[in-house]
Amino acid sequence: MQMPLFGNKFSPKKTPPRRAQSLSNLHLDATQSRTEFGLDYGPIKVNLGGSEVAFENGIWIPESGAGGASHKEVSRLRKQSQQLQEENNLLKFKIDILLDMLAETSAMSHFHENELKQLREMKSKKR
């Protein structure tokens, strides 16, 4: 009679298959589930220490709390500053054009004065 080296007493018992359970304990109908977990999730907002921030255009923007009002004021001032810089650049360009026109007019005036002076000298020599 042979003795098995590894008998049945070392083989583990197979466990019965488990019932499939929902991964979520939330029981929502289809519309609630779509709004909650769908692709249209809206802006991402986080509340940290009483201040709410939203993720818009790749940056976190404070919406409430101490930083919310100041951020809106800063963005308004930045926009106004950019408009003033553009206006300033336009005015500098216009001044450059006016200076060029003044230089051209001044050069023409000197040219005409010299020409007039030469004509007077020629006239006085003929007499």
Q: Residue ranges of the domains in the chain?
A: 41-126
Mean pLDDT for the chain overall: 80
pTM of the model: 0.44
Amino acid at 63: E
pLDDT of residue 66: 58
Q: What is the pLDDT of residues 78-106, one digit of tens each?
A: 999 999 999 999 999 999 999 999 999 99
Q: What are the start-end ranges of the E strands in 9-127?
A: 44-48, 51-56, 59-62
DSSP conformation class of 8:
G
Q: What is the pLDDT of residues 55-77, one digit of tens each?
A: 887 887 777 655 556 777 888 89
DSSP conformation class of 9:
G
- Are 15 and 23 spatial neighbours (Cβ–Cβ below 8 Å)? no
